Structure 1
Amino acid sequence: MWLDGCIQSIVVNGSMSRWRSEKNAVPQRFTLGPVLFNIFTNDRNVEIECTLSSFADDTKQSGAVDVPEGWDAIQRDLGTLEKWACVNLVRFHGAECRVLHLGCGKLWYQYRLRDEWIKSSPDVKDLGVLVDETLDVSQQCALTAQKANHILGYIKSSMASTSREVILPLYSALARPHLDYCIQFWSPQHKKDMDLLEWVRRRATKMARGLEHLS
């Protein structure tokens, strides 16, 4: 999402769960669970003015706030969501909800969910990707490089062989997915961020015997 001028976007992120005990349930980590949950919550966007998106039990509400009417629309939608939750015997975890302000404007409003104020946050981690209020991906690149680098350390300390037949498959299976995950979204633009990620790849090349000259 790209915002120009002083348009401000508010993203509210929260989890939902059933509070009524059930005798039958779908085991966790099964694809069927999120599918059934999405079917159950498919009518969440009824009478919602702002943009509403969801994945499994996470719901995100966003809207442009450059005039007070924008704040009113978001707050009304929060009330609509809360009414929907009460009717369907689910609840939003207020402690897990966050408000993320994006854009150049300074109209930072506060929002309520039930009788609680929702806390503002300078960044939000969504599906493993860190998004901050400046849309800068440097922190995401640093965290990604750190994870991949730790995995390379485990590979180096636990494997007796450093042949390319051993190191490259392990790198491709364990470390590279962290470097490639959702990179279409957080694709780095700064040279320092690209160099940081490239350093991890060069380290993996140095670890493989016979490929040192490529690093």
Structure 2
Amino acid sequence: MKMQIETVDDVALLQQDLNCLLSWAKDNNMKMNGDKFEVMRYGPLLDIKEHTKYQAHQQNITPKEYVRDLGVTMSADGTFSHHIHLITTTGRKLTGWILRTFQTRERSCMLTLWKALVLPRLEYCCQLWSPHKTGDIMRLETLQRTFNSRIAGLQQLNYWERLNELKLYSLQRR
């Protein structure tokens, strides 16, 4: 079974499949919201990417640069840098909220807050988007480095010593 769009005929076949799906849905009393259809185009075939359109309910499906699915943002360039940017922004907001809301900087409290509120967001589905670019890795590590430097009694230690003391792994390793 062919899974790539390489020619204009492949585009027509995909549109035909989409029309069959919409027809099946109508026959089974299902309503699909055409405004929620998204298309993302990968690959080097610029002619096909730029000059083809897909339709649902007689309206064009707008090509997207980023598509979010199950909490992970995928990019048309095939990287997850945008996703990493989004989760580190969220992580920065959460850590700022934690530091403003809780006066204590006691180790057990700060570690509990980190593990309960921030770390799950940074690690969600990381097997899929596992960073390999140095900038993406640094963005993640900087967030953890900044947060654990605020924990009482650890300010004089470097990042790796703090991780060892807290029994945490670097985000890259995790």
**If the TM-score is normalised by the length of the shorter chain, which range does it land in?**
0.7 to 0.9
The residue number in structure 2 matching 1:180 is 123
Letter of the structure 2 residue corresponding to residue 154 of structure 1: W
Q: Output the CA distance in 1 between the equivalents of 2:150 and 2:95.
A: 9
Counterpart of 1:95 in structure 2 is: 35
1:203 aligns with 2:143: no
- Find out whether 1:127 has 2:70 as its counterpart: yes
Alignment counterpart, residue 158 of structure 1, candidates 101, 104, 121: 101
Larger RCO: 1 or 2 (CA < 8 Å, sep 6+): 1
- Please give the alpha-carbon distance, in whole angstroms, between the structure 2 residues aligned to 1:182 and 1:146: 17
Unaligned runs of at least 5 residues, structure 2: 160-174
Q: After superposition, what is the alpha-carbon deviation per residue over 1:106-131, rounded to whole angstroms, capped at 9, x for unaligned?
A: 11221111211111111111111111
Could you say which structure has the higher strand fraction?
A: 1
Look up the SS of the partner of 1:90 in the other structure.
coil
**Paired-residue identity, %:** 26
Q: Residue by residue, what CA displacement relative to the aligned partner does 1:179-208 show, whole Å, maximum 9, x if unpaired?
A: 101111111111011001000111121121
Amino acid at match of 1:133: A
Q: Which residue number in structure 1 is paired with residue 56 of structure 2? A: 113
> TM-score, normalised on structure 1?
0.69
CA RMSD of aligned residues (A): 1.4
Aligned counterpart, 2:5: 65
Report the AA paired with residue 148 of structure 2. T
What letter corresponds to residue 23 of structure 2 in structure 1?
K
Deviation digits for residues 116-164 of structure 1 (CA, Å, limit 9, x no counterpart): 1111111111111111111122111111111111111111111121000
Q: In the alignment, what sits opposite 2:82?
A: 139
Distance, in Å, in 2 between the alignment partners of 1:81 and 1:166 is 52
1:74 aligns with 2:17: no
- How many residue pairs get aligned? The number is 155
* Alpha-carbon distance, 1:210 to partner: 2.0
Question: Could you say which structure has the higher helix fraction?
Answer: 2
